[in-house]
Amino acid sequence: MRGYSAYERFWMVLILLMAAVPLFLALQAFYWPEKSFEAAIIIDRSREKIWPYLVEPTFRTRWETGLTDILPSLGEPGESGSRAFAIFYLDGARLEAEEEVIAIVLPERLEKITHFGPYTKWSQFGMTEDGGRKITYRERIRYHSFADRFWAPFKLWGHKREIENMLGRLQRLIESSPRGPQ
């Protein structure tokens, strides 16, 4: 019995990998429907000056990607239990989302749930003292369809990069305002 050549071994390994990747994606789609990540920045302003940028609609539309309008439907924006409809324009498409603030611990933490069509997103902004004001953004996304869960690892790479860019815009916006919100 002869051994396999390097060329034959290369193609066998390649074929096995090509079969293993879709299998892994299918397994993770079945067993891990929720994906999460975290990003952080440090802003050189007091918590009291940062807070309005996180909750007030006029400021949020200036730094959140694609957000064009927020229409309050229940309670005041930034209050625990308040609800609002957020309108986004992403990649030329209009998306409507329902946001619900589920917890606020002034001025340290804001948690909200956002319901989009294909997924539900839980997000949290936390502020701590760390040489400035460290803002940590945590997000968990629960995809509703198998196809969205299947491609989720690839979508999240781009989504996490966009969140980091969004936090950078927030930092530039706050630090460029000498006296805070106006």
Rounded alpha-carbon distances, angstroms, from residue 21 to 27, 30, 53, 157, 181: 10, 14, 42, 17, 48
Number of domains in the chain: 1
What band does 11 get if pLDDT is binned at 50, 70 and 90?
Answer: very high
Flag whether 10 is in a domain.
no
Question: Maximum Cα–Cα distance for the chain, whole Å?
Answer: 81
Assess contact for 67 and 61: CB atoms under 8 A.
yes
**Res 171: pLDDT:** 92
Burial (CB count <10 Å: 0-12, 13-18, 19+), residue 45? middle
- CATH number of the CATH domain containing 120: 3.30.530.20
Record the pTM. 0.77
pLDDT tens for residues 134-161?
A: 888 999 988 888 888 888 888 888 888 9
Is residue 138 within a helix (H) or strand (E), and if so which, with residue range?
Answer: strand 133-143
| Any domain includes 20 | no
161 vs 141: CA distance, rounded Å: 15
The separation between CA 175 and the C-alpha centre of its own chain, rounded to angstroms, equals 22
Please indicate, yes or no, if residue 102 is contained in any of the structural domains. yes
CA dist 30 and 88 (Å) reads: 29
40 inside domain:
yes
Range of the domain at 112: 34-176
Residue type, 38: E
How much is the average pLDDT of 106-134?
A: 80
In this structure, is residue 19 part of a structural domain?
no
Task: Note whether 41 and 170 are within 8 A (CB).
Answer: yes
Dump pLDDT digits (tens) for 45-103: 888 888 888 888 889 999 998 899 999 888 887 788 889 999 999 888 898 999 999 98
